[in-house]
Amino acid sequence: MDEKIGEALVRIGAMNAIQMEDVLNRQDSGDDRLFGEIAIELGYINDEALRSYIHNGSTVN
Protein backbone atom coordinates (compact mmCIF):
# COMPACT_ATOMS: atom_id res chain seq x y z
CA MET A 1 0.00 0.00 0.00
CA ASP A 2 1.33 3.43 -0.92
CA GLU A 3 1.83 5.98 1.83
CA LYS A 4 -0.23 9.15 1.41
CA ILE A 5 1.35 12.59 1.52
CA GLY A 6 -0.02 13.46 4.96
CA GLU A 7 1.22 10.21 6.47
CA ALA A 8 4.66 10.72 4.93
CA LEU A 9 4.91 14.31 6.19
CA VAL A 10 3.97 13.18 9.70
CA ARG A 11 6.45 10.30 9.55
CA ILE A 12 9.33 12.59 8.61
CA GLY A 13 8.33 15.15 11.25
CA ALA A 14 7.34 17.93 8.84
CA MET A 15 3.89 18.15 10.46
CA ASN A 16 2.02 16.42 13.27
CA ALA A 17 -1.00 14.12 13.20
CA ILE A 18 -3.39 16.84 14.42
CA GLN A 19 -2.34 19.11 11.57
CA MET A 20 -2.76 16.26 9.08
CA GLU A 21 -6.28 15.60 10.38
CA ASP A 22 -7.12 19.30 10.10
CA VAL A 23 -6.13 19.32 6.43
CA LEU A 24 -8.08 16.12 5.75
CA ASN A 25 -11.14 17.50 7.54
CA ARG A 26 -10.99 20.63 5.40
CA GLN A 27 -10.88 18.48 2.26
CA ASP A 28 -13.81 16.40 3.53
CA SER A 29 -15.73 19.64 4.16
CA GLY A 30 -15.44 20.64 0.52
CA ASP A 31 -12.03 22.28 0.09
CA ASP A 32 -10.99 20.87 -3.28
CA ARG A 33 -7.37 22.00 -3.12
CA LEU A 34 -4.49 19.56 -2.89
CA PHE A 35 -3.28 18.46 0.54
CA GLY A 36 -0.02 20.35 0.16
CA GLU A 37 -1.72 23.57 -0.90
CA ILE A 38 -3.88 23.60 2.22
CA ALA A 39 -1.01 22.62 4.53
CA ILE A 40 1.21 25.40 3.16
CA GLU A 41 -1.55 28.03 3.47
CA LEU A 42 -2.13 27.03 7.10
CA GLY A 43 1.60 27.23 7.82
CA TYR A 44 1.89 23.56 8.71
CA ILE A 45 4.60 22.92 6.11
CA ASN A 46 6.72 25.03 3.81
CA ASP A 47 7.59 24.72 0.14
CA GLU A 48 10.84 22.93 1.00
CA ALA A 49 9.04 20.15 2.88
CA LEU A 50 6.61 19.70 0.00
CA ARG A 51 9.42 19.61 -2.57
CA SER A 52 11.25 17.03 -0.47
CA TYR A 53 8.14 14.85 -0.39
CA ILE A 54 7.61 15.21 -4.14
CA HIS A 55 11.25 14.38 -4.83
CA ASN A 56 11.31 11.35 -2.52
CA GLY A 57 7.61 10.46 -2.35
CA SER A 58 7.62 7.94 -5.16
CA THR A 59 10.02 5.76 -3.17
CA VAL A 60 8.10 5.99 0.11
CA ASN A 61 6.36 2.73 1.09
- Convert the pLDDT of each residue in 8-53 to its tens digit: 999 989 999 999 999 999 999 999 999 999 999 999 999 888 888 8
4 in a structural domain: yes
CA atoms of 55 and 32, how far apart (whole Å): 23
Q: Is residue 40 part of a domain?
A: no
Could you tell me the pTM of the whole model? 0.82
pLDDT band for 57, please (50, 70, 90 cuts): low
Number of domains composing the chain: 1
Q: Report d(CA 2, CA 44) in Å as an integer.
A: 22
User: What band does 60 get if pLDDT is binned at 50, 70 and 90?
Assistant: very low
Domain that includes residue 3, residue range: 1-31
